Homo-oligomer: A and B are copies of this chain.
Amino acid sequence: MAQAQRQPKFRRAPPEVRREALIDATLVCLRTHGHAGLSARRIGSLAGVSPGLITHHFPSLSALVAAAYESLAMSLLHSIEQHAREAKTTARERLRRFFRASFAPRLLEPGLFNAWLVFWSMMAHDARVRAVHNRTYVAYRAVLESMLGDLSGCGGIPPFKLRPAAIALAALLDGLWIEASMNARTFKPAEAVALCEDWINALSEGAFPSLLRSRSRSGGSRRFTRVSVRRG
């Protein structure tokens, strides 16, 4: 029985592979333990590696966390975006798919929010994390701007300012995602999707005066055009 097959105490790995493994372990740790997961020893043990290896492959623990932040944020964004662009349909339908993906169970897992809180908390003290936030938030908004631009290209929709529109939509999405993550009982994911679709609908109708490009500053009581909402 007792084979006593002597296993090597560790296996070497090329730096790139090890870096990625550490990033993955960091994400798992932050998702499952929140702030308590932010520990070189915990992350190391989860990656099957000694704590000293972290500062060997990264300048510091917070640099590893920053790398994990960038990895997760970009991965999620691409995943949602691909899910949205998958179908060749109208801009409005792609937005709808984007919203649905944003409130899918995968995105509402409480652990994800806990990890996000750790990233946000570190922004105040760590320049690297702050830089990652700025990069990823700009990328996020760029995706929204692109989809809103497509929407704007369709006929019958009054021209609107893309940048502030994307900012508002991002805020609405974030606010809903945060509350849904903190308390799943407040509203159902489908309600969040409907509220975002409503926002797009109002935008299409020119019901957001401050977003209307040029045109009368009269407050928008008179809409730019009357449009058919369905099949925009």
Contact with B along A207-232 (1 / 0, CB 8 A): 11111000000111101001111100
Q: Are B183 and A210 in contact (CB under 8 A)?
A: no
Contact B175 A123 (CB under 8 A): no
Contacts A202-B208, A221-B227 known; A195 to B164 CB distance under 8 Å?
yes
> Which stretch in A44-52, A66-74, A114-122 binds the other chain?
A114-122
Minimum CB distance partner of A123 in chain B: B182
> Oligomeric state, in number of copies?
2
Within 8 A of B (CB), among A123-165: 123-125, 133-134, 137, 164
Measured in the bound complex, the distance between the Cα atoms of B224 and A207 in whole Å is 13
Number of chain A interface residues as a range: 35 or more
**A19 at interface (Cβ–Cβ under 8 A)?**
no
A227–B223 alpha-carbon span in the complex (Å): 11
* A28 close to B (CB within 8 Å): no
Asked whether any CB of chain B lies closer than 8 Å to the CB of A170, the reply is yes
From A1-9, A56-64, A76-84, A186-194, give the one contacting chain B. Answer: A186-194
In Å, the complex CA distance between A123 and B205 comes to: 40
A134, chain B: closest CB distance, angstroms? 6
Query: A107 an interface residue at 8 Å Cβ cutoff?
Result: no
Partner among B120, B175, B186 whose Cβ is within 8 Å of the Cβ of A172: B175
| Complex CA–CA separation, A221 to B187 (angstroms) | 25
Q: Tell me whether B183 and A167 are in contact (CB under 8 A).
A: no
Query: Once bound together, how far apart are the Cα atoms of A167 and B99, in whole Å?
Result: 16
16 residue pairs A–B, Cβ–Cβ below 8 Å: A114-B121, A133-B183, A137-B179, A167-B179, A167-B191, A171-B172, A171-B178, A174-B174, A175-B176, A194-B210, A199-B199, A199-B208, A201-B209, A201-B220, A220-B229, A221-B226
Which residues of A are interface residues toward B (Cβ below 8 A)?
34-36, 110, 114, 117-118, 120-121, 123-125, 133-134, 137, 164, 167-168, 170-176, 178-179, 182-183, 186-187, 191, 194-195, 197-199, 201-202, 205, 207-211, 218-221, 223, 226-230
Query: Lowest 7 CB-CB distances: which A-B pairs, in order?
Result: A171-B175, A175-B175, A202-B202, A202-B207, A198-B208, A207-B207, A194-B210
